[in-house]
């Protein structure tokens, strides 16, 4: 089975049945082995906590969600029984350094302008891009900036679609 990279959008789509990308991801994992950079799972947990706890107002609900996601993705054998083939790709110190360098080299893809002149790093996307460059695997994403970065750098990609 072919390996492909998936970003946080795809991981969210796989995790949540109410996501508009759930059906697409459900079909993708039956056909391919999805490779998830370790930073993606951390971003999923952060976003899931924020959403399910109503930005920290309901701590217990957010924590329960983190526990459920952690339990689900840690049981690789159970995932295989569900026809979900996942490999987590480790992130090294060198990858982190390379991601920081990539942000400086390509700020239009990895720095987001916020209100009042603030700037926010898209560090998870930068680490994904580093793994993408290293592995040359097809990245499944719906992120226009990652798609444009991939096109500019000759990296294979497919768009995650709402089904």
Domain architecture of the chain: domains with CATH: 3-91+124-159 (3.40.50.1010)
Q: Read off the tokens for 46.
A: 């952060």
Report how far residue 159's alpha carbon sits from residue 52's, in angstroms, rounded to the nearest whole number: 27
Per-residue pLDDT of 22-37, as tens digits, reads 999 999 998 999 999 9
Can you give the pTM of this predicted structure? 0.91
pLDDT of residue 75: 84
Per-residue pLDDT of 29-69, as tens digits, reads 989 999 999 999 999 999 999 999 999 999 999 999 999 99
Helix (H, G, I), strand (E, B) or coil at 3: strand
Report how far residue 157's alpha carbon sits from residue 146's, in angstroms, rounded to the nearest whole number: 9
Report how far residue 121's alpha carbon sits from residue 39's, in angstroms, rounded to the nearest whole number: 14
DSSP string, 22-58: HHHHHHHHHHSEEEEEHHHHHHHHHHHHHHHTTTTTS
């Amino acid at each position: 089975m072919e390996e492909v990279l998936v970003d946080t959008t795809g991981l969210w789509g796989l995790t949540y049945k109410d996501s508009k990308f759930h059906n697409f991801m459900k079909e993708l994992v039956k056909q391919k082995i999805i490779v998830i950079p370790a930073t993606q799972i951390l971003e999923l947990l952060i976003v899931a906590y924020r959403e399910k706890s109503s930005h920290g107002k309901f701590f217990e609900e957010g924590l329960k969600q983190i526990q459920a996601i952690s339990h689900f993705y840690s049981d690789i054998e159970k995932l295989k029984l569900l026809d979900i083939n996942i490999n987590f790709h480790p992130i090294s110190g060198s990858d982190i350094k390379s991601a920081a360098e990539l942000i400086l080299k390509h700020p239009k893809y990895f720095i987001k302008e916020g209100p009042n002149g603030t700037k926010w790093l898209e560090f998870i996307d930068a680490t994904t891009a580093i793994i993408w460059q290293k592995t040359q695997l097809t990245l499944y994403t719906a992120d226009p900036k990652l798609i444009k970065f991939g096109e500019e750098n000759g990296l294979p990609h497919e768009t995650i679609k709402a089904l």
